[in-house]
């Protein structure tokens, strides 16, 4: 299994983020309800300073928040993954993310690695309307952009 938790947690703690750790650990009910039960499909990911549409070979890269908004699951395009998420009104931290290790087409594997890397770097989220979720790194740069597949 691939673990991204340590990099995300250490990155947020060492480099700071948009929210205090106590705010992320104790998210408000309002914040949870904004992401809880929602499902998303990846539209764009940042790789080497450029935004690209992921190469998926027909498989979607997805992100689903559970009904309580504390756990995530989805497909990286090749491998299923799951983990935990901590949020507040603007901050987000993905922890304990684990994924399978099935090998796929090389281009698909590159997109999947870029997606998981993007999740490990984000510290802020923003919804634009009901259908767009954007995840940013601590410097405010867009890393991942999703479209809604299931509205909460």
| Domain boundaries of the chain, sorted by first residue | 2-150
Cα 45 from chain centroid (whole Å): 11
Burial 26-41 (b: 16+ CB within 10 A, else e): ebeeebbebbbebbbb
pTM of the model: 0.77
What pLDDT shows up at residue 34? 81
Per CATH, domain 2-150 is 2.40.128.270: yes
What pLDDT shows up at residue 118? 94
Q: What is the pLDDT of residues 65-109, one digit of tens each?
A: 999 889 999 999 999 999 999 988 889 999 999 999 998 888 888
Q: What is the pLDDT of residues 21-49, one digit of tens each?
A: 444 444 444 445 688 999 999 999 988 88
What pLDDT shows up at residue 73? 98
What pLDDT shows up at residue 97? 94
- Three-state secondary-structure class, residue 77: coil
């Amino acid at each position: 299994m691939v673990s991204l938790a340590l990099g995300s947690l250490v990155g947020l703690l060492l480099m700071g983020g948009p929210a205090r750790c106590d705010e992320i650990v104790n998210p408000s009910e309002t914040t949870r309800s904004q992401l809880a039960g929602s499902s998303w499909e990846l539209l764009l990911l940042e790789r080497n300073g450029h935004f690209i549409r992921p190469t998926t070979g027909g498989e979607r890269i997805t992100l689903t928040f559970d009904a309580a908004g504390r756990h995530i699951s989805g497909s990286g395009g090749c491998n299923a993954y799951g983990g935990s998420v901590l949020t507040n009104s603007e901050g987000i931290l993905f922890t304990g993310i684990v994924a399978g290790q099935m090998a796929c087409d090389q281009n698909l594997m590159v997109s999947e690695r870029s997606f998981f890397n993007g999740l490990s770097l984000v510290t802020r989220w923003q919804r634009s309307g009901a259908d767009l979720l954007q995840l940013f790194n601590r410097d405010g740069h867009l890393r991942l952009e999703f479209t809604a597949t299931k509205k909460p």
